Every structure is written in structure tokens, then in C-alpha cells.
Structure 1
């Protein structure tokens, strides 16, 4: 077997060292590349700041949109409340005139007499006073009959209420049924009086 000359061996050792040096340099280059990627040098720092600003702006825009939507919703609710307040504040009062009702449910030997003037408070947002009055006037007799009927059938406990709230609520509901709408907002009595008198006096 031929021996390898000393010069050849030296050449092989040099080639091996060159290969190792090449590998070491490439390894250092790769490591340096990764370090540079994450190092906040001038260019990277600017990019990082811009990215952070974009995130802050995006979050801010989302908050503004959400806040704006909330304020818009609150504004719509406030507008609806104001409209309802205006509607309820704009009303018309229509009188049904004075009436008298005599109840046969009074104590034995006597008659219960009630005299009153019924006043209706109507929604005025949609109608003028003339329109509201005309609306009631067309069914005035029927409405008066219903008022008399409800008062005639009212219990002693209902008539003893200081404000007659139960009776007034029943009358309001019945009148709105007759008018086929919710025009009547409130029913009141002017000069409401209730007294008892002997049955014989009724026949005089």
C-alpha cells in the first residue's frame, strides 16, 4: 500500500480546518441574524413603536365606537321619554256635564244619591280641543250612561275611597273601549257629593 506523503496529509489537514472554520462562521452568522432580528436597533425600534401605536389606535377606535353606540342608545331613550312627557303634558279636558245617580242598594228605607260632574282628560298630542271634544260628543250619551252604571253598581268600599280611584279607573277603561282607542288619560269628578235621604222623600 502506498504511503501518503507528508505534503498530502498537510493539505488534508488544511482542508479539514477550512471546513471547520466555514461551519463555525456560518453558525455565528445564523446566531447573529436571529439576534439582529430581535434587537431594537434604529429600524426595529421604529417598527416596534409604529406597531404599538397601531394597537393603541385600534383599541381606542373600538372604545370610541362602543361609547358612541352607548351614547346614541341613551339619546334615543331620552328622546322617547321627552316625547312621551310632551304627549302627556299636552292634554284637553272635556266635561260630560252634571249628573245624578240614585242607588237602590242603600240601607233599608233610604236612597243613596250621588251628584257629580264627570271631566275627561284626553290626549291632546294628536288632536285639537275641537277634535277631542267632538270625539266625546259623538258618544256622549252612551258615555254618560256607562258612568252612571258604574257609579250605581259601585260598592260602599269603592265609594268610600277619598279619590274614588277604583271607580275612576273602571270608567276610564270603559270609555276607552267605547272610543276604540286610548284617548282618555284620566277621569275626574268635579263637585262629587253623596248623601242619603228617606225613601219617602224620593216619591215626593
Structure 2
């Protein structure tokens, strides 16, 4: 689904990503590489293929849009170096010419030299790419200025109600008056409800596509 935001055209993809054609930029959030391996290490049985499936989806998006830059608005990694991160290292070699910029999130705990070895540009707090500000978690005290903020962190979701008390909890893109929140890219995440305000826009992600709700 193509939408207009702060004067720019953005393409929302059902694989939980935004493509910004004017900048040839693919934007995702909360990839959480290493989360499944981290859980398994602590005795929690989690399927081993989760991380690989996420990277396959990301690879297909890169192949489809052919972006110049991949921007990840935080929590690219879940903890520290583990087997899933090693898997990413091999995946990264397939896209050696792609610039990857990571805006550091609260789970991004790798050492500086480890990001460098993975050919990732680490951005400590925020990336300004007019007319947008890209950041992991929007501060409550963030002043309103000429930039529209795009963040991640909270894994937004929306509930759709059907007949016979049916309901579906779906990941979504949220666009408010001054900021947007990306869905978590990783399939291995929960969902958080956002309290809507007047004129807020929600775009639910279904298996077949994006729907405005």
C-alpha cells in the first residue's frame, strides 16, 4: 500500500517494512537477530529456523526493491554474539554492496568492533533524513519540529473484530499526527496496543496484504 506522509510517498509492505522510493531506502525495525538462540541457550524450546526465516524475508525484500540503504530503527540484534548472529554474518556476504545503518536500540549490545566486522554503520541515537527523523524509541519529551518521527520498539498491533465474537490480533503500521511506529520485523515478537487519537491511521498486516483500519 502506498501512502503519503509529511509530503513523501512511502510504500508499506506486508513483510513489515517501509520502502521510501525518493531515497531508495528500505526501513525496518526490531529484527531481533539472536533472540531464538538466546532463548534456547536458557532452556526455552524455540524453533531454530525463526532467525533464518526472517533473514530470508529480508533478502527477498532487498531483491525486490533493490535499495541503496537498509535502515533498521533499533533492536537489530537481541543480545550478544551467538549462533544466529553467525548466520547473519553469512547472510550479509550476499549483500556486500548494500549500506546497512542501524540506529542503536536497547537490545543492541554488540561491541563496536563487532558491528564493524558485520559491515554495519552504527548510529547512536537518531538519523535525520529530511523530512523524517528515524529513531528507535520516541522520547516522551521529544519536541515537535519540522521532522516527522518514525520509530519502532513497541511492536504495535491492532485487533480486528468479526462476526460471532471472532477477533484477530495483527501487527500494524501506526501513523499519528507527528510520529509513526513500525511493526516488529521479526515474527518472534509480541504485540502492543496503541491508544488511538483523532485522525490516527492504522494499517493492519494480513497474510494477503495491508488494510487500513
Q: TM-score surpassing 0.5?
A: no
TM class by shorter-chain length? under 0.3
Between structures 1 and 2, the one with greater helix share: 1
Larger Cα-atom Rg: 1
State the TM-score, normalizing by the size of structure 2: 0.19
Between structures 1 and 2, the one with greater strand share: 2
